[in-house]
Amino acid sequence: MYGNDIPGLLGEVEAAEVALRAAADRQVGGREQAELGGAEQSQAYFDAVIDADQKVEPRDWMPDSYRKTLIRQIAQHAHSEIIGMQPEGNWISRAPSLKRKAILLAKVQDEAGHGLYLYAAAETLGVSRDELVNLLLEGRQKYSSIFNYPTLTWADVGAIGWLVDGAAIVNQVPLCRCSYGPYARAMIRICKEESFHQRQGFEILHTLAHGTQGQRAMAQDAIDRWWFPSLAMFGPPDTDSTHSEQSMAWKIKRFSNDDLRQRFVDMCVQQAGVLGLALPDPDLRWNEERGAHDYTQPDYEELMRVIKGDGPGNRQRMAHRRRAHADGAWVREAAAAYAKKAKP
């Protein structure tokens, strides 16, 4: 049943892992000279590392704007993983069987782990996790738009796994080749885990699609509601993307928002066929000339509204996160007191 999922993407993760090891062995010369030299020499060393597809490491000089872009993107990604626990967490106590509950619990815990790897990667850039969490709580840093949509039925857990984790993988596999070493390494592990998440969502939908008429209708309704918000996860169209050009020049992003969105659409059409469910786009059709599907774009005005805080669930998500942060204060204090006591 899983045979046709994420075609080739896991292979790309494996290849990226091999490439990462090879990059670690490449030694573009001049780091010491760059450290001793002035701004020009530092920039030349940085450019040479990017050109050679070697990884930039925390010890290396990097332009301030490169560091800021990475902190912005990695932090937004980490916050998304943490806020992203809420829509599915909503269904842990109502999963339809013990097996489903155990699987969902493990998946939601994985998301917390992803948040942790990403905050740790961001910390190598000289910011603390506390600072980043505060920026989220103060509403000064974003998280993915997708997690502001509600999970109304059990089928939504399937749709999140299939479409949201599916979109996440398509977006994140190229990040395994990101020029910043700690982010690329975190992404390898995250993508391997995400592939299981995508499969469990696909399997939930497959079961519902082959169940009663009511279950099939519930699965279709979930896909109808999650399809366009999932397409919006890839960000604004290339013409409106503020960061893509520079991020691609720095090899942080490897493909544009629209290229990845197209890849996702093509992948989903084939998988929807296996599920026997429809994608809610009457204009979706194969374009022989382009060798890709034509499709209806998501509502980018809605995306901007959601990003700015006015989506269906923004207030609820942030209120919950702030409450959970306050409730966890005693744990952070106890851990800090224990660490202080344990110091020799």
Neighbours of 217 (CB within 10 A): 12
Question: Nearest approach, Cβ of 153 to ligand FAQ (angstroms)?
Answer: 17
Site for ligand FAQ, rule CB under 6 A:
72-73, 76-77, 80-81, 84, 111, 142, 144-145, 160, 164-165, 168, 171-172, 232-236, 241-244, 247, 253, 257, 307
Cα gap 168→184, rounded to integer Å:
15
Q: In the chain, at which residue ranges do the beta strands (DSSP E only) sit?
A: 285-287, 292-294
Comparing every residue's Cβ against ligand FAQ, the nearest one is: 84
Q: Which is nearer to ligand FAQ, 45 or 66 (CB)?
A: 66
CB of 160 to ligand FAQ, least distance (A): 6
Question: Looking at beta carbons only, is 144 or 220 nearer to ligand FAQ?
Answer: 144
Residues 6+ apart with CB under 8 A from 273: none
Select 45 or 251, whichever has its Cβ closest to ligand FAQ. Answer: 251
CB of 5 to ligand FAQ, least distance (A): 15
What phi and psi values does residue 282 have, to the nearest 5 degrees? -65, -20
- Which residue's CB is nearer to ligand FAQ, number 229 or number 293? 229
Of 205, 195, 113, residue with least CA distance to 157: 205
Q: Copy the structure tokens of residue 120.
A: 């740790």
Least separation in angstroms between residue 215's CB and ligand FAQ is 22
Nearest approach, Cβ of residue 33 and ligand FAQ (Å): 32
**Cβ–Cβ < 8 Å for 134, 326:** no
Considering the complex, state which of residue 34 and residue 107 has its C-beta at the smaller distance from ligand FAQ.
107
End-to-end CA distance of the chain: 55
